């Protein structure tokens, strides 16, 4: 499955390079939904909430009411997770809180079936708080421990995020070997060939910069992967 991404910052759709520098702004949120209409699920990340700099709840609600969305960004409490579901989120993505005692409460609040744990890797280590802080863990080390709390993992190779240089398929192969849960790959995916290799591993592809810049054509993707759309 291909999952187009909508990242929100300051009320706008944006794309960042490695979570730091804004590279471009997309169209208005509802126009992005129109462009992504051929795809069965959309990923919505509230970057302001992830970085602790506010939130874009009105836009999240707007998007979640009109499309099947997995939503993340700043989900560090059971209350926030419940609120996103109330706003219409199909699934909730939790990152930083997955490495705190709050995870059990979040999973209990919305149920593991609705929860996706984000494993964001930079320099081989998991990063949290909007990719601003590094931990001592690797994704491969923690994935099995986190399985009881979620139904899938969003695994971002931050080193390549937004650079349009390709991703690290070897890392995703190691993750696939480490868990039977659903995996969604993100971070630097640039070519149809990479998407096919991920699909062969039964790994979904979350796409951002490559489709916003036109490196990957949405119509061609919808035609090339028809069995993976809703």
The full set of domains in the chain, from first to last, is 2-228 (3.20.20.70)
pLDDT (tens digit, 9 = 90+) per residue, 141-186? 999 999 999 999 999 999 998 888 999 999 999 999 999 999 999 9
Q: If DSSP codes are grouped into helix, strand and coil, which group holds residue 15?
A: strand
Integer CA distances (angstroms), 139 to 14, 35, 98, 176, in order? 26, 33, 12, 11
21, 27, 46, 120: the catalytic one is: 120
pLDDT at 228 over 70: no
pLDDT (tens digit, 9 = 90+) per residue, 182-216? 999 999 999 999 999 999 999 999 999 999 999 99
Would you state the structure tokens that stand for residue 201, as one six-digit string?
């591993």
pLDDT at 230 over 50: no
| pTM (predicted TM-score) | 0.94
Instruction: Please indicate whether residue 7 is annotated as part of the active site.
Output: yes
- Please report the pLDDT score of residue 186 as a whole number: 97
Q: If DSSP codes are grouped into helix, strand and coil, which group holds residue 157?
A: strand
């Amino acid at each position: 499955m291909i999952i187009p991404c909508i990242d929100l910052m300051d009320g706008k759709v944006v794309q960042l390079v490695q979570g730091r520098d804004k590279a471009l702004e997309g169209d208005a949120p509802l126009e992005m939904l129109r462009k992504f209409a051929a795809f069965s699920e959309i990923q919505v990340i509230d970057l302001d909430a992830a970085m602790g700099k506010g939130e874009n709840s009105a836009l999240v609600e707007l998007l979640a009411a009109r499309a099947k969305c997995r939503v993340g960004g700043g989900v560090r409490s059971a209350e926030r997770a419940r609120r996103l579901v109330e706003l219409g989120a199909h699934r909730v993505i939790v990152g930083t809180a997955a490495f705190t005692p709050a995870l059990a409460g979040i999973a209990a609040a919305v149920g593991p079936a609705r929860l996706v744990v984000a494993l964001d890797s930079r320099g081989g280590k998991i990063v949290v708080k909007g990719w601003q802080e590094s931990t001592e863990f690797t994704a491969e080390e923690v994935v099995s421990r986190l399985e009881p709390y979620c139904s899938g993992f969003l695994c971002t190779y931050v080193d390549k995020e937004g650079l349009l240089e390709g991703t690290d398929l070897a890392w995703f192969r190691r993750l696939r070997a480490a868990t039977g849960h659903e995996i969604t790959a993100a971070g630097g995916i640039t070519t149809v060939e990479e998407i096919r290799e991920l699909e062969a591993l039964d790994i979904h592809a979350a796409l951002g910069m490559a489709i916003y810049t036109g490196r990957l054509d949405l119509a061609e993707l919808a035609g090339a992967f028809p069995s993976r759309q809703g």
